Amino acid sequence: MNVSSSRSHAIFTLHVRQHRMVRDEAPLEDGKDTDSTQTEFETLTAKFHFVDLAGSERLKRTGATGDRAKEGISINCGLLALGNVISALGDNTKRGSHVPYRDSKLTRLLQDSLGGNSRTLMIACISPSDRDFMETLNTLKYANRARNIKNKVTANQDKASRQLAQLRAEIATLQQELMEFKTGKRAIDADGVESVNDLVTENSMLQSENDKLRQRIKALQDTIEMLKARNSQLLADAAVFSVLGTDGQAKNEDVSNLITKYVHEIEDLKTKLAESESFCEHLNKSTARSPRFSARMSLSSMSLTSSFAGGMEAPVSPDYMETSVLHDAKKEMKRLKKLQKSYSHAPNQESDKENIHVGARIRDDDQATSQEKSDEEING
């Protein structure tokens, strides 16, 4: 079929051995990385087979005689043995059965490439001519059987390199355990029993409690800022009321007394606000001092309670103080507006009888206000 063919199989084998350097970083005992590295070598081996197989021949078509006929018969026998090996490796039903590698020299040389730790690429050459249809069909079937072979490939690494890799993994595990012992995650009892240290759990609980207290302090600071704004508004209202009181007559004494009372309440509110600020500052100091602040917080709370009991009132809830003060302020504002309207509509020269009626009305308003305050205190 091919006049220029050498009528033989050709196999070119290339053996490759690679020595490569592996750098193993050596961390310090405290877990910090350093620039110092340990140089080690590992060896990888590989083998390449470049094979040129001769095509099968039919003596009826070639008409070969003598040595040519013997060469054709030998080529066909080698290809037949190779086909049997490929069929045994590619058929799942025959998996685990005997593979006839020793039936020919060709299959014996290609044993590693066919069913060993290798990757094999086969290129099938076919003819486009119609007269070679049967040979082309047989070649395609041959390649299809070879395609069914599945190999699992792993790197050919020497035993020393594998042992080094295992030792490196073991060293990394031991270093991690050593770091856990140093950081306190693990501990050993007097009996030599290894146990997990509870200090780590306790530390996490204290940190979560510390975060909660920080949020509480932030809420108290927001309340203090709100109270400061309310105090400023109340002071401005008190100044307006004082100006209105100076333009009135002698009957405005009740209004001035009420404004004075309001100023005293504002001063008391300032005092309570200062106490709340000092309490918040004490909380900040206690949380920043040590993670074990629970016991100190309880002691500081007891000392603050005793100081309040000895010299001053205990700090009232900011929401309660704000609600009560705003409620009283609204009532007094309504009352003062009514008085202002009555004074603005009254004539400049009024009789003693009208003065008496106005004074009586002021006293009635005072009594009604005091009665409402007493009822609110009883209900509160």
pLDDT tens string 220-244: 999 999 999 989 888 888 887 776 6
CATH code where residue 129 lies: 3.40.850.10
Residue 108 near residue 143 (C-beta atoms within 8 A): no
Residue 1 lies in a domain: no
**Region of poorest pLDDT, from 51-60, 85-94, 264-273, 327-336:** 327-336
Instruction: Round to whole Å and give the CA distance between 231 and 273.
Output: 10
pLDDT band of residue 9 (cuts 50, 70, 90) is: confident
Give 14's pLDDT tier (boundaries 50, 70, 90): very high
- The answer on 104 and 26 residing in a single domain is yes
Mapped onto helix, strand or coil, the DSSP state of residue 297 is helix
Rounded distance between C-alpha atoms, residue 175 and residue 29, angstroms: 8
Neighbours of 146 (CB within 10 A): 20
Contacts of residue 21, defined as CB under 8 A and 6 or more positions apart, other chains included, come to 39, 40, 41
Mean pLDDT of the region 142-150 = 86
Number of H helices, E strands in the chain: 11, 4
Helix axes of 318-345 and 253-289: crossing angle, nearest 10 degrees: 160
Same domain, 74 and 54: yes
Are residues 350 and 250 part of one domain? yes
| Least confidently predicted of 79-88, 99-108, 161-170, 337-346 | 337-346
* Same-domain pairing of 352 and 257: yes
* Confidence at residue 329, expressed as pLDDT on a 0 to 100 scale: 67
Residue 120 pLDDT exceeds 80: yes
Is 134 or 95 the better-scoring residue by pLDDT? 134
pLDDT score of 370 more than 60: no
Q: Could you tell me what percent of the chain has a pLDDT over 90?
A: 6
Distance CA 153, CA 18 (A): 18
**Residue 216 and residue 345 in one domain:** yes
Examine the domain organization and report whether 134 and 171 are in the same domain: no
Kindly tell me if the per-residue pLDDT of 31 is higher than 50: no
Instruction: Find out whether 203 and 291 touch, Cβ atoms under 8 Å.
Output: yes
Per-residue pLDDT tens for 189-205? Answer: 656 555 666 666 778 88
Cα R_g (the chain), whole angstroms: 51
Residue 333 lies in a domain: yes
What's the rounded Cα separation, in Å, for the pair 149 and 74? 25
pLDDT at 357: 47
Is residue 368 assigned to a domain? yes
Domain total of the chain: 3
Same structural domain, 262 and 353: yes
Does some domain include residue 223?
yes
* 3-state SS assignment for residue 13: strand
Mean pLDDT of 141-148: 87
pLDDT interval class at 304 (50, 70, 90): very low
Inter-CA distances, 333 with 137, 237, 288, 289, 315, Å: 110, 9, 45, 47, 27
In a domain, 298, yes or no: yes
Residue 35 lies in a domain: yes
The reply to whether 186 and 229 lie within a common domain is no
Per the structure, the complete domain to which residue 89 belongs is given by 10-147
Residue 171: pLDDT over 80: yes
248 assigned to some structural domain: yes
pTM for the model: 0.37
Give one DSSP letter per residue of 170-234, joined into a string.
HHHHHHHHHHHHHHTSEEE-TTS-EEE-HHHHHHHHHHHHHHHHHHHHHHHHHHHHHHHHHHHHH
| 102 and 184 in a common domain | no
Domain check: are 91 and 217 in the same one?
Answer: no
Domain presence at residue 355: yes
Q: Are residues 225 and 101 in the same domain?
A: no
Q: β-strands 186-188, 37-52: how paired?
A: unpaired
- Beta-bridged to residue 50, according to DSSP, are 12
Contact predicate 114/86, CB 8 Å: yes
Q: Do 64 and 178 lie in a common domain?
A: no
